[in-house]
């Protein structure tokens, strides 16, 4: 017989580990976009790379990334590089 409490604890620990990894990836990407010598195109690539990592951690959550994190990174890019002519 399997210990359902142990399974729940293991599942919770795994979810906590993935959330910690997500926060770390977002923080590192934020620093990169703000401080590394990147062009606008390179910064956008870094964000797309982050999205791939997030989807690997949380399959089927790409839309959540687009709703929560993409606007945050778009603001960072606009603050650093100004608005793209296509966005104005």
pLDDT per residue as tens digits for the range 12-58? 999 999 999 999 999 999 999 999 999 999 999 999 999 999 999 99
**Helical residues (DSSP H) of 2-85, grouped into ranges:** 4-35, 40-57, 62-81
Whether 76 contacts 26, CB under 8 Å: no
Angle at which helices 40-57 and 62-81 cross, to 10°: 160
Which tens digit of pLDDT belongs to each residue from 13-23?
A: 999 999 999 99
d(CA 31, CA 21): 15
């Amino acid at each position: 017989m399997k210990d359902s409490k142990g399974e729940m604890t293991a599942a919770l620990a795994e979810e906590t580990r993935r959330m910690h990894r997500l926060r770390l990836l977002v923080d590192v990407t934020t620093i990169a976009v703000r401080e590394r010598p990147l062009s606008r195109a390179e910064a956008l690539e870094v964000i797309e790379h982050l999205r791939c990592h997030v989807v690997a951690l949380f399959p089927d959550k790409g839309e959540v990334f687009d709703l929560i994190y993409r606007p945050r990174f778009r603001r960072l890019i606009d603050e650093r590089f100004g608005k793209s002519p296509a966005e104005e």
